[in-house]
Amino acid sequence: MSDTDTQLRKLLERAVGDPPRHVAVPEVRREFIHRRITQTAAAVVAVIAIGVGGTAVAAHFAGAKGAPAAMAARGVPRYYLQADAAEPGHDPAAYQASEYPDRGAGGGTPVAIRAEQALIRRTATGAITGRFRCPEGTGWWVNQAAAVTNSTFIIGCSEQPAARTPGAGPSQEVLLSVHLTAAGGVAGMAPVPGGHLTRIGAGVISMAAAPNGHEVALAISAGNGRMDIEVLNTATGQRALWRGRPHWKYWGLSLTSNGQELVFTGLPCLGVPRCTSAGSVLAVRPAAQGGSLAGARVIVPHRSSVTAISPDGSVLCSLGLEATVSGPPPAPLAHGVILICTSVKTGNLVGEAYDSRFDRGAAALGLLTADPSGQYLIVHAVTGGKSINGWIRENPATFNQDPANMPSVRLIPLKGNGAALAIETW
C-alpha cells in the first residue's frame, strides 16, 4: 500500500467513526423472512394476474417482484411522532401525578396537553425528518396523536386559550390524518370525517386509533366531575358515546385492530380529594356501540399508568410506575418502572420487565405506545430528574422471564427524551 493509500485510509477511518447501532442476527432473520414473504406474495400476485388479466398485466406485476428491500415496510417503524408540551412539567405531569393519591395529589381534573408542534423522527438515528403545527393557526395546539400505520397518524388539534385559567378548557378539537412521505417528511394533512368536536369540557385527555384506522377512541373530560369516551367511525363520521361513571377518570386508551375491543385505565378519583381507590384496567366491546362505562369489564384488577392492547386483543401490556417488584426469595424488592404483559383471556403473565433505576416516590409521567403491528413498544417514563425513552425490540410475548430473575428493560434509546415529552407514538 502506498503512502497515499495509507493517508487516505486513515482519513476514511477518521471520517467513518463508529456505527451508532449494531446489526444483530434477529434483525437479519426478520429481514430474511420479510424478503421471502414479499417475494412469495409478489409471485402469487403475478400468477393470479396471469390467470385473470393476461400476460401483459402479469408482466407488470412480475416487474415489481424485486423491489428494493429498503423501500419495503420494515418490522420496526422507521419513524415516530413526538411532541413536547408547551408547559413542561405541567400538562401531562399534573394529570399523571394526580394518579398517585398516596402523594396527596388527589383526584385533580385532567388537563389537555398543549404542544406547539410535532416532530417526525427517524427511529434509527433520531434525525428530525419532518415537523408540523396545527394548520388552523394561532391558538391551536397539538393535543393528541395516534398511529394508524407506520406512515399515517391521526392527530388532535385543540383550540385552547393562550393562558391556562381554571375552568377555561379547549373550545373545540379537530382530528386530522397526517401522512408521511417515504423519507419521513409530512406529505399532507386531511380532516378526519366526523372529527370536529365541540363541547369538550376540559378537553381530549387520551386518544387511540385502531390499527385499521376505522375507529378512533377519545377520552374526553366532560366537566361536572365526569369523563366520557367517544368512539369515532372515521369512514362514516358517526360517533358512539360511552358515558362515564361519576367521578371516574379514564385514560390510557387502546383499540384492537378490528376496532372491537376498547381497553383503558379507570380510576374513581375524579374530583375526590386524597382518593385512595386502586382503579383497574377495563374493557368494553364492541367499541363502536357506545353505552355506559359502568358495564365495563375488568381485565386487570389494578391500576396502571398506561396500557396497550395487542392488535389481536390477546395480550395487554401495562406500564406501571413506582411499582414494587418482588419475586421468590432471595429476589430483592425494587422500585421503578415495570412493564407487565398479561393474557387477556387467562390473565396469566406472558412477559414482564422492569427498570429499577428510579427512586421511589418520584413517578410523574409515563407513555406506552405500541406500533400498529403490536410488535414494538415505545416506553417513556419520567421520575423527578430522571427519564427513560426508548423502544423494545421484542414482542412482549417473547420476553417472558422467570420472575425471580427479571432482566432490566432493554430499551433502544429514542432521541428527544425529556420531562416535557408529552406525545410519542409510531
Partner 1 sequence: MTGDEAAPQRGEGFPEFVLAREQALQRSAWLLTGNWALAEDLVQTALARCWPRWERIRDDPEVYVRRVMINTWMTWRRRRWRGETPSDPIPDSAAPGDLAIETSVRLAVRDALAGLTERQRAVLVLRVFDDMTEAAVAQALGCAIGTVKSTAAQALARLRTDPRLADLMERETL
Q: Which residues bind partner 1 (CB under 8 A)?
A: 1, 3-5, 7-25, 27-29, 31-32, 35-36, 68-71, 122, 124-131, 182-185, 415-418
Residue 119: CB minimum distance to partner 1, A: 8
Q: How far is the CB of 311 from partner 1 (least distance, A)?
A: 25
Cα separation of 286 and 261, whole Å? 6
Strand partners, 178: 153, 189
Identity of the residue, 44 or 162, whose beta carbon is nearer to partner 1 in the bound complex: 44
| Least distance (Å) between residue 177 CB and partner 1 | 21
Cα(401)–Cα(395) distance, integer angstroms: 13
Measured distance CA(149)–CA(210) in Å, rounded: 10
Pick from 287, 288, 286, 282: which is nearest to 252 by CA?
282
Cβ closest to partner 1, residue 12 vs residue 56 = 12
Distance between CA atoms of 11 and 6, rounded to whole angstroms? 9
3-state secondary structure of 103: helix
Q: Which is nearer to partner 1, 88 or 418 (CB)?
A: 418
In the complex, the smallest distance separating the C-beta of residue 78 from partner 1, rounded to whole angstroms, is 8
Calculate the CA dihedral of residues 397, 401, 403, 404 and round it to 10 degrees: -170
Whose CA is closest to 392, among 352, 358, 347?
Answer: 352
* Least distance to partner 1, CB of residue 72, Å: 10
For residues 277 and 426, give the distance between their C-alpha atoms in angstroms, rounded to a whole number.
Answer: 32
Closer Cβ to partner 1, 25 or 56, answer by number? 25
The residue (of 115 and 272) whose beta carbon lies closer to partner 1 is: 115
Q: Residues 285, 287, 290, 294: what is their CA dihedral angle, to the nearest 10 degrees?
A: 50
Label residue 397 exposed, middle or buried (CB < 10 Å: 0-12, 13-18, 19+).
middle
User: Is the Cβ of residue 118 or residue 353 nearer to partner 1 in the bound state?
Assistant: 118
Q: How many CA atoms lie within 13 A of 267 on its CB side?
A: 30
- Measured from the CB atom, the residue of 11 and 47 that comes closer to partner 1 is 11
Q: What is the nearest approach in angstroms of partner 1 to the Cβ of residue 63?
A: 12
Cβ proximity to partner 1: between 14 and 297 the closer is: 14
Q: How far is CA 142 from CA 82, 93, 187, in A?
A: 10, 17, 18
Smallest gap from Cβ 16 to partner 1, in A, equals 5
Residue 67 Cβ, how far from partner 1 at the closest point, in Å?
8
Phi, psi of 174 (to 5 degrees): -125, 130
